[in-house]
Amino acid sequence: MQVFADIVKMQSHISSLKSEGKKIGFAPTMGALHLGHISLIQQIQDRNMVSVCSIFVNPTQFNQQSDLDKYPRVLREDLTLLEQHDCDIVFIPTVDAVYPQDLDTRVEIDREGLDMTMEGHFRPGHFDGMLQVVNRLINIVLPEAIFMGQKDYQQFALVQHMGHKLHPGLDVVMCPIIREGSGLAMSSRNRRLTEEWRERAPMLSQTLKEAKSRIEIDPVQEIQDRAFAKMRSAGFKPEYFEIADGVTLKTVEDAADHEIIVACLAAWAGEIRLIDNMILKDSTL
């Protein structure tokens, strides 16, 4: 495993691998790695590509300074985990290298409303920063494919959209959500859950499962209301529980009108904001 902080050194290493005919698979992360992140590396390896993992806590995607300050940073542990899982290249740039003063890195594309709902509504500016960093990292790493988790469904939809607009030919691969045995979706933020919330948190995935079992039976609004009430009565502070079209992310009114339907939620478990989602229906399979 080779670790680079320097962009030019990494690029010259990557271009020599490319000249040998190797293909690059890229997994951008913010560190505090867990098996969800590692699953992205494994998907890259399964495709016989060179795995590049970036670890960069991106300041432009945090809409609250306190959230950025509290974001877990455990580089040594991260490198050990990546080494154990045979990651090929780790990229750990500085903020100044990602955002040099003389480079305009903002992404100006029509997002077709994908960024207006759910996370976009509750975390204003978050997706501007996310697209900015992912686009910048793609331009540095120049991968053939980028691997992103379904865990951040709306993020994936936006990156896929940006891929079509700005990086034709780039394969944007969605990797399934990795969950703990309890059903809790793995997340770097889970490290900060208290013991009590850790016990209660699996309820979120149960709520999603229940929604899945009722999607073609009950009215959508009823399913959403029930899920919201259930989260509240367990002590969570839910921000949204949205049943949306899996492609446009527009609100679903009648499940019969949509091929792919996803339920996405965000809820505060005490001080920690958790998100999760589940595909409720996919008639393309």
Catalytic positions, please? 37
Instruction: Give the nearest distance from C-beta 32 to ligand AMP in angstroms.
Output: 7
Instruction: Give the nearest distance from C-beta 227 to ligand AMP in angstroms.
Output: 20
Site string for ligand AMP, 126-155 (x = CB under 6 A): ----------------------xx-xx---
Tokens standing for residue 197: 């919330």
Which residue in 137, 186, 193, 244 binds ligand AMP (CB under 6 A)? Answer: 186
* Segment interacting with ligand AMP, rule: CB under 6 A, options 90-98, 172-180, 204-212, 224-232: 172-180
Distance CA 97, CA 94 (A): 5
Tokens standing for residue 95: 């903020």
* Residue recorded with tokens 């996310």: 130
Instruction: Of 39, 34, 87, 79, give the one whose Cα is nearest residue 55.
Output: 79
Instruction: Give the nearest distance from C-beta 214 to ligand AMP in angstroms.
Output: 24
Is the separation of the CB atoms in 261 and 281 below 8 Å?
A: yes
- Which residues does 20 contact at the CB level (< 8 Å), separation at least 6? none
Tokens standing for residue 249: 């992310």
Asked whether position 39 contacts ligand AMP by CB under 6 A, the answer is yes
Give the number of residues written for the chain: 285
Which residue in 178, 223, 252, 262 binds ligand AMP (CB under 6 A)? Answer: 178
In terms of DSSP bridges, do strands 171-175 and 145-149 run parallel, antiparallel, or are they unpaired?
Answer: parallel
Instruction: Give the nearest distance from C-beta 149 to ligand AMP in angstroms.
Output: 2
Which residue lies nearer to ligand AMP by CB, 18 or 174?
Answer: 174
* Segment interacting with ligand AMP, rule: CB under 6 A, options 29-37, 46-54, 62-70, 160-168: 29-37
Instruction: Give the nearest distance from C-beta 229 to ligand AMP in angstroms.
Output: 26
Is the separation of the CB atoms in 219 and 235 below 8 Å?
A: no
Q: What value, to the nearest 5°, has the Cα angle with vertex 127 and ends 122 and 128?
A: 125
Distance CA 172, CA 28 (A): 12
Asked whether position 187 contacts ligand AMP by CB under 6 A, the answer is yes
Asked whether position 177 contacts ligand AMP by CB under 6 A, the answer is yes
**What residues from 220 to 249 belong to the interface with ligand AMP (CB under 6 A)?**
none
User: For 2, phi and psi rounded to 5 degrees?
Assistant: -115, 135
Asked whether position 29 contacts ligand AMP by CB under 6 A, the answer is yes
Count of alpha carbons within 13 angstroms of residue 226, beta-carbon side: 17
Q: Which residue type is seen at 16?
A: S
- Cβ count near 66 (within 10 Å): 9
Which residue lies nearer to ligand AMP by CB, 41 or 50?
Answer: 41
Which residue lies nearer to ligand AMP by CB, 72 or 235?
Answer: 72
Which residue lies nearer to ligand AMP by CB, 56 or 236?
Answer: 56
Asked whether position 188 contacts ligand AMP by CB under 6 A, the answer is yes
Give residues in contact with ligand AMP (CB under 6 A): 29-30, 36-37, 39-40, 148-149, 151-152, 175, 177-178, 185-188
